[in-house]
Chains A and B, each alone.
Chain A
Amino acid sequence: MFELDVATRHIRSRRRQTVFSIIAVSLAVAIIIIMMSMMSGMLSLMMESTIENQPHITVFPKENEDYIHLYHGLEKNILDREDVEAISSYFQGEAALQYKHSAEGVLLYGINPDDENRVVNREKDMLAGEFASLANPGSRIILGFKLANNLDVGIGDTVTAQIPGAEPTDFTITGIFQTGTPVDETIAFTNLERLQDFYGSGDVVTGLGVRLSDVYAADTIASRIDMETGYDAVSWIEQNSDILSLLKSSEGLVYLIYIIIFTISGFGIANILIMIVMEKVGEIGMLMAMGASRRSIMLIFLLEAGILGLTGVMIGWILGYVAALAIAAITIPIPPEMYFGMDHLPVEIELKNFITAGIFAMVINTLAGVFPARRASRMDPVEAIYSV
């Protein structure tokens, strides 16, 4: 294959220029691998955090009703379904919490801690105290850590809950939790029965949280519950549809950025090939005179683009891998309560990102080679030979 011979010689005799175009490609590949790895990391972190910190399905009261009255029957109905792992009924109400001179508006959740822990593992979020302490129907309360900070309270302190039309009631703090989400500032948990008492609602709940074994079955199961029971069942996918669609649309934007970065590196390759073609006019004419077909001439320059591109891609893979590892290893000094409690940048090194970046780069580099290669292959041999 003389085409490959000629192509490699052209590249080797132009070491300095080719090095630059290879660097451009490898930087592009590396940058994109880093971006993709961080995107993957961020995405799976958000998914994980969403799936772990929310019920997979939440069942709300029927339209125009405030409560689910016969919730024990509904619990049994839902628990009997396939893929349903656990269920937790809750009573939710707004209240003001007061401690000395400070007061904060909160959402009070009355739950049964064993049930709740099975649906969303609250125990793992506990900074202090135990979530299970709410099993006792006494006046106990567990606060988010920011809320506790705002009220300037700690474990053992007593806060006063107030709602319109009820006697203010004291709750003793038995735990403080931290999720790294806005919930830390707005939510407090109490015992379900105690809260029903406090609101004087009787044995009713305002919702049911459901945990599934297959999180992606949530939509189907939710709509089935919806249809069969008449209650309003919402899956986590539906509940987060805004974020999910935002992620989807930002993905499009990210791909646009990839294309721009690769196009810039592709221009580097096109540029050097155009230079070589212009410099080699006489040679190209002579190759044609010697019987090299137009296809062979085309192949020579496409091979050059391919060799430059492939070298760039392989170096870029290594650079990207090393850089992604390095970034993943850096501990970032952000307060842990921000960004889902992470103290590292979320980097997920996935083979598919390397393959995507590689293919992407090779396609664009080959396209970059097409124009100069066609130009070379369409030369008139006579003009080329006498062009000196």
Chain B
Amino acid sequence: MSDTYIIQIKDLTKIFGNGVEIRALDGVNLNIERGEFLAIVGPSGSGKSTLLNQIGILDTPTSGTILLDGVDVTKMSDKQRSITRNRQLGFIFQYHHLLPDFNALENAMMPLLISGVKSSRAREVASLMLHEVGLGDRMEHRPNQLSGGQNQRVAIARALVNNPSIVIGDEPTGNLDTKSSESIYELLRKLNREHKQTFILVTHDERMAAKTDRIIRLVDGRIAANSHNSV
């Protein structure tokens, strides 16, 4: 079971707020297969980011469990969570959050350096990754010398450089025009096929969602629809 499902979410509930309670997630049950390319959609405030941050172990649930590769991450210590994020997870956010004082290559190297890989080796791996996202000729550029789409590609290279089993993206193209969005989407899809990694993307773009394996629709913190696309 845990062989097919890389992520198993059971009764996940997240309540925010002191005073006024906000049920951002309300008893979510969801299993995700290894290598799936999955879209989470839903109206604003429906809990998409909250769910993604739970899977990314950036936040803790109010109740319920999340198993990543069979391991319950809700019981992990702060340190284990950091290590798991570093080894198993890759993050792409709407804003690239690249380190502005480092160039593209150094940014892409960062997860490797954090995990203690020697910098010469990290340089090799990151440079391969940057070539893969089509930025082989921009490695020495700083974020302020790159376009929005290029920066997002650097962020993608950074998310994948540690070869994580799960890549999560919160509106990774939300800040880009249609053309760059499409090429970023194509890139993610290509990487998903080549690396067999699990991709979970939150998106507002229904056309893009339609091109994924499966669409999870959240409404008021619950899964309102769970439909496989036939591509």
Contacts and interface: CB of A to CB of B under 8 A. Distances in A.
Interface of A: 2, 5-6, 9-10, 12-13, 282-283, 285-294, 296, 380-382, 385-386, 388
B176 to A, nearest CB: 15
A292 B82 contact: yes
Given A296-B114, A382-B59, A291 B82 contact: yes
A382 B16 CA distance: 13
B68 to A, nearest CB: 14
Nearest to A380: B59
Interface stretch (B95-103, B145-153, B194-202, B206-214): B95-103
Contacts, number: 72
A355 to B, nearest CB: 34
A280 to B, nearest CB: 9
A290 B85 contact: yes
A10 B101 contact: yes
Contacts of A385: 58, 93, 97
A385 B106 CA distance: 20
B133 to A, nearest CB: 17
Given A290-B91, A293-B79, A293-B82, A283 B99 contact: yes
A6 B111 contact: no
A291 B111 contact: yes
A2 B158 CA distance: 15
Interface string B62-84: 00000000000000001100111
Interface of B: 49, 53, 56, 58-59, 78-79, 82-87, 89, 91, 93, 95, 97, 99-102, 106, 110-111, 113-115, 158
B111 A388 contact: no
Contacts of B85: 288-291
A86 to B, nearest CB: 72
A289 B95 contact: no
B59 A2 contact: no
A9 B83 contact: no
Contacts of A293: 78-79, 82
Contacts of B84: 291
Given A282-B97, A292-B114, A382 B58 contact: yes
10 contacts: A12-B101, A13-B100, A13-B101, A287-B110, A290-B110, A291-B111, A292-B86, A382-B53, A382-B59, A388-B95
Nearest to A11: B101
Given A12-B101, A290-B111, A291-B115, A282 B95 contact: yes
Nearest to A2: B113
Nearest to A286: B97
A2 B82 CA distance: 15
A292 to B, nearest CB: 5
Contacts of A288: 58, 82, 85
Contacts of A381: 58-59
Nearest to B83: A291
Contacts of A5: 106, 113
Contacts of A12: 101
Contacts of B102: 9
Given A290-B85, A290-B91, A386-B49, A283 B97 contact: yes
B100 A2 contact: no
Given A288-B82, A291-B85, A293-B79, A9 B99 contact: yes
Contact of A289 (B58, B78, B106): B58
A283 B95 CA distance: 10
Given A283-B97, A381-B58, A385-B97, A291 B87 contact: yes
A290 B90 CA distance: 7
Contacts of B115: 291
A287 B113 CA distance: 11
| From B56, B83, B93, B115, residue with most partner A Cβ within 10 Å | B93
Among A6, A289, A382, the one with the most B-chain Cβ atoms within 10 Å of its Cβ is A289
Contacts of A294: 78, 82
A282 B78 CA distance: 19
B91 A2 contact: no
B91 A289 contact: yes
B99 A6 contact: yes
A174 to B, nearest CB: 81
A283 B107 CA distance: 11
Nearest to A12: B101
